[in-house]
Structure 1
């Protein structure tokens, strides 16, 4: 029998019943690894092992995949943290929730950046849906937490839960290797450390939406600044608010009060503006860290100063820090390589000090804790606004040190 005869007798292959979910998962991993705007339908199809047109049998466009993947992520998180009926001991309830969330975070590590950054590209109605689901997740922890700690206000309990979720979400921001079971145990400890921490006073806590609205309303820098500085400041604000790909050079020029044709005299391309923002963040972070470590030789004091310096940087320049963390995939390759090296060196400085302070702590675990503390600071830097002389920086520094001690 010829090969063609064999092929003719074989039954046609059926599409897997979970093909839609498979496409969404693969797409989510690609979005998180490379950024939503840099991933095309054909690339998603190739990763799944199907043709581009086959993707369109399940989704009308790439945006529909993003909506489905984001919705699936929060739905799965809610399912993992389904409250028990007639829940008794709140400590036992919270312990179960933290165990489930730790397992879920490790299992979904490759798609967690949907929660961290990629959801920014959702339209308003889908963004509102995402926020509502996240608020539901927060309440599933906050309700038993207030039963366990009745002195907490509703806002204080929700703040601590969001801090715990931020510590969990930090796992998606780095590639530090650690055994699965061990990582789950570390996250579980981190979650409890956040839930047992002191809550901030009501005066220090404002919603992320309120903070964003305040920043959006802020006037552009004074016109006396050099034009290059005006353009860079405008670009950072717009990249933070809208995302790199949604911003054009004309938008940046308009926000800076500079004619669009003049923008190119200072920056040849939008990528050059982004790289300039990254180098500015890197230089300022290095300077603040060096200043913090210059006058101490005690590891514990040095770690405290390093955390304090990072908090000051993250809160003082929250838009710049957000761009620094979110837009890495859009940098030119040489800049991306150089800046990743700088980021690793910064993390390793924290790890070196933490291992000295806690001699029995393996370096692999120390990295997980350091990334949790850093992510906690940057998340709160985006969510909290404070006035000069306020206590928010000191409070967040203490919370970061609690994470390092978990």
Structure 2
């Protein structure tokens, strides 16, 4: 019997699907070409006949999802069709959100810039459809709503278990419709993220290093930050970093621990102090948005660098995220008893994704009313009244 080899195009699609799933689950740095080849059932040399290396694999995997998204948006003639296109890609290419938000920053600079242009073009297509239905919307407001819808759908990528596809598509379509219907009229200007106070007591060197590490690891990536750069950020030599931390990995772990302690203290404290579930959900939302505006680098590093931790520290970080999510899911179900756990998880993941992106997505992150905007959009995603 003659064994037919699959066509090259079919084999490439299989490789990209395996690569996207491995990158999504383990992180780009933790996956080798040999791992991808084993997942496909071929040898590493055979894999290199199709792709030159990991950067090309990541690039092509991201482009596959974005091309489908762009095609769906070009055909969309209503916000309902926009929601259907976003939901179909979020479900059909579930790793895409993680790859775009976490791993794509590791691509070569030219490809990163091209990816950003593609996403801007998608958002522009969405905004055109939205403003045709809501001509009263100013351009910046339409843009913020469209980026928030994109981020909310990407939240599905961070769920550990995939929900039933048809149900997930239907719910994400509803979430997009709710986001695109939000009114941003009369938003209130909030105090911006707190700046350093002149004359304030200087922080201990260890605390300065923790703050600098979160910022640099998020913006450049763990592997692209040297101890010399960490030391220079706080005015010391690179070797002096080791007086405070045994290794760069220990510094990463300590910086994430310190940040999540603050997150838990601020958000859980606001929830616990509120009278009743509805007030607690509103207080928690306000606290989370406020924390995110002041700590965007931590939220970015939490998503992008957790895989770089040693196994015990990684488990602690994952356990914290699971407990934090559970608190919100249970609270939302108290406020909306008709929501089952699956729907509540999708809504809460969407909330976290749109806030985490919103505080880091320029030029919208510079809006003086950003906090109020994100709270309004967050309520829409959770399905609760203001």
Residue in structure 2 matched with residue 248 of structure 1 by the alignment:
226
1:35 and 2:27 matched: yes
Calculate the aligned-residue CA RMSD, in Å: 2.6
Residue in structure 2 matched with residue 153 of structure 1 by the alignment:
138
Work out which of the residue numbers 324, 332, 355 in structure 1 matches 2:302. Answer: 324
Residue in structure 1 matched with residue 192 of structure 2 by the alignment:
none
Residue in structure 1 matched with residue 382 of structure 2 by the alignment:
404
Residue in structure 1 matched with residue 113 of structure 2 by the alignment:
128
Partner of 2:273, secondary structure, is coil
1:16 and 2:1 matched: no
Give the Cα–Cα distance (whole angstroms) in 2 for the partners of residues 181 and 231 of structure 1: 47
After TM superposition, the structure 1 stretch with the greater mean CA deviation from structure 2, 222-231 or 61-70, is 222-231
Give the Cα–Cα distance (whole angstroms) in 1 for the partners of residues 71 and 271 of structure 2: 45
How many residues are matched?
376
Q: Say whether the 8 Å CA contact 1:293–1:306 is kept in structure 2.
A: yes
Partner of 2:339, secondary structure, is coil
Give the Cα–Cα distance (whole angstroms) in 2 for the partners of residues 359 and 312 of structure 1: 27
Residue in structure 1 matched with residue 268 of structure 2 by the alignment:
290
Alpha-carbon offset, residue 235 of structure 1: 1.3
Give the Cα–Cα distance (whole angstroms) in 2 for the partners of residues 166 and 201 of structure 1: 24
Alignment of 1:65-214 (within 5 A): 65-83=57-75, 87=77, 93-199=78-184
After TM superposition, the structure 1 stretch with the greater mean CA deviation from structure 2, 376-385 or 276-285, is 376-385
Alpha-carbon offset, residue 12 of structure 1: 6.1
Q: Say whether the 8 Å CA contact 1:170–1:372 is kept in structure 2.
A: yes
After TM superposition, the structure 1 stretch with the greater mean CA deviation from structure 2, 189-198 or 242-251, is 242-251
After TM superposition, the structure 1 stretch with the greater mean CA deviation from structure 2, 247-256 or 265-274, is 247-256
Alpha-carbon offset, residue 201 of structure 1: 7.8
Residue in structure 2 matched with residue 47 of structure 1 by the alignment:
39
Work out which of the residue numbers 334, 339, 342 in structure 1 matches 2:320. Answer: 342
Give the Cα–Cα distance (whole angstroms) in 2 for the partners of residues 11 and 368 of structure 1: 47
Q: Residues 60 and 290 (structure 1 numbering): CA distance in 2 closer, same or farther, change over 3 Å? A: closer
Question: What is the CA deviation profile of residues 90-147 of structure 1, one whole-angstrom value per residue up to 9, with x for unaligned ones?
Answer: xxx2212211321221111134311221110122211121111112211222112111
Give the Cα–Cα distance (whole angstroms) in 2 for the partners of residues 319 and 201 of structure 1: 29
Q: Residues 69 and 179 (structure 1 numbering): CA distance in 2 closer, same or farther, change over 3 Å? A: closer
Give the Cα–Cα distance (whole angstroms) in 1 for the partners of residues 325 and 298 of structure 2: 18
After TM superposition, the structure 1 stretch with the greater mean CA deviation from structure 2, 73-82 or 365-374, is 73-82
Partner of 1:82, secondary structure, is helix
Alpha-carbon offset, residue 42 of structure 1: 0.9
Q: Say whether the 8 Å CA contact 1:355–1:366 is kept in structure 2.
A: yes
Residue in structure 2 matched with residue 361 of structure 1 by the alignment:
339
Residue in structure 2 matched with residue 281 of structure 1 by the alignment:
259
Give the Cα–Cα distance (whole angstroms) in 2 for the partners of residues 404 and 12 of structure 1: 52
Q: Residues 345 and 196 (structure 1 numbering): CA distance in 2 closer, same or farther, change over 3 Å? A: same
After TM superposition, the structure 1 stretch with the greater mean CA deviation from structure 2, 189-198 or 332-341, is 332-341
Q: Residues 319 and 201 (structure 1 numbering): CA distance in 2 closer, same or farther, change over 3 Å? A: farther
After TM superposition, the structure 1 stretch with the greater mean CA deviation from structure 2, 55-64 or 12-21, is 12-21
Alpha-carbon offset, residue 254 of structure 1: 2.2
Q: Say whether the 8 Å CA contact 1:156–1:200 is kept in structure 2.
A: no
Alignment of 1:295-310 (within 5 A): 295-310=273-288
Partner of 1:225, secondary structure, is coil
Structure whose CA Rg is larger:
1
Q: Residues 299 and 238 (structure 1 numbering): CA distance in 2 closer, same or farther, change over 3 Å? A: same
Give the Cα–Cα distance (whole angstroms) in 1 for the partners of residues 236 and 365 of structure 2: 29
Q: Say whether the 8 Å CA contact 2:213–2:251 is kept in structure 1.
A: yes
Q: Say whether the 8 Å CA contact 2:124–2:143 is kept in structure 1.
A: yes
TM-score by length of 1: 0.86
Question: What is the CA deviation profile of residues 220-258 of structure 1, one whole-angstrom value per residue up to 9, with x for unaligned ones?
Answer: x99932221222222111111111121122221222221
